[in-house]
Chains A and B, each alone.
Chain A
Amino acid sequence: QQQVKQSPQSLIVQKGGIPIINCAYENTAFDYFPWYQQFPGKGPALLIAIRPDVSEKKEGRFTISFNKSAKQFSLHIMDSQPGDSATYFCAASNPTGNQFYFGTGTSLTVIP
């Protein structure tokens, strides 16, 4: 059973566009929601993370929007660049942090 559902599976945008990746969860005990970026053959790299006490967090060109009542969160990439082409994973964990549940990933392609 997928604890975190992620969409879309793949996304193609033009340079400068704003790709949006969405995730949804069911377990209301989750209290930490990170996003990871992964390039082929590499491990996931932590991009940005949010806790449910805020509705939005911005770091550079990356923004997380969080909707606690809908149990959804999304990643927005402003002014996307070809170097942003990668697979993005959302994840969630509960307060014990004993494991992270990952979405199935979104393959992003930014066309120059």
Chain B
Amino acid sequence: DTGVSQNPRHKITKRGQNVTFRCDPISEHNRLYWYRQTLGQGPEFLTYFQNEAQLEKSRLLSDRFSAERPKGSFSTLEIQRTEQGDSAMYLCASSMRQGVKHTEAFFGQGTRLTVV
């Protein structure tokens, strides 16, 4: 499977616990995005990486959220001290940027987080 892979697919956690999600992008893609989607809404941008550099972060990304992409390959998104409002689908996408052009962004299947 050469698509974007996300793990785990589902995560149930107690409020206050920390959780970490992983995303493996399409191998030749140098851009990686994290989005959050709540029920009945479109995906909302959280952050993106160009190779290993985190170039932009949304105001939605509070200080409890941190994302990394070591070596410009896979990425992790960690949420500390989870709150019930963090319950959502967390989506990862990847694309290729070459010079001034960027290709289509392909999404993974998402990680569904439920905070109880």
Give residues in A with beta carbon < 8 Å to B: 6, 32, 34, 36, 41-46, 49, 89, 91, 93, 95-105
Contact = CB atoms under 8 A, between A and B. Distances in A.
A95 B95 CA distance: 13
A100 B105 contact: yes
A102 B43 contact: yes
A44 to B, nearest CB: 5
Interface in B83-104: 91, 93, 95, 97, 100, 102, 104
A46 B41 contact: no
Contacts of B106: 46
Interface of B: 4, 6, 31, 33, 40-45, 48, 55-56, 58, 91, 93, 95, 97, 100, 102, 104-110, 112
Given A98-B56, A105-B40, A34 B45 contact: no
B95 to A, nearest CB: 7
Contacts of A45: 107
Given A41-B112, A43-B91, A101 B45 contact: yes
Contact of A43 (B42, B44, B107): B107
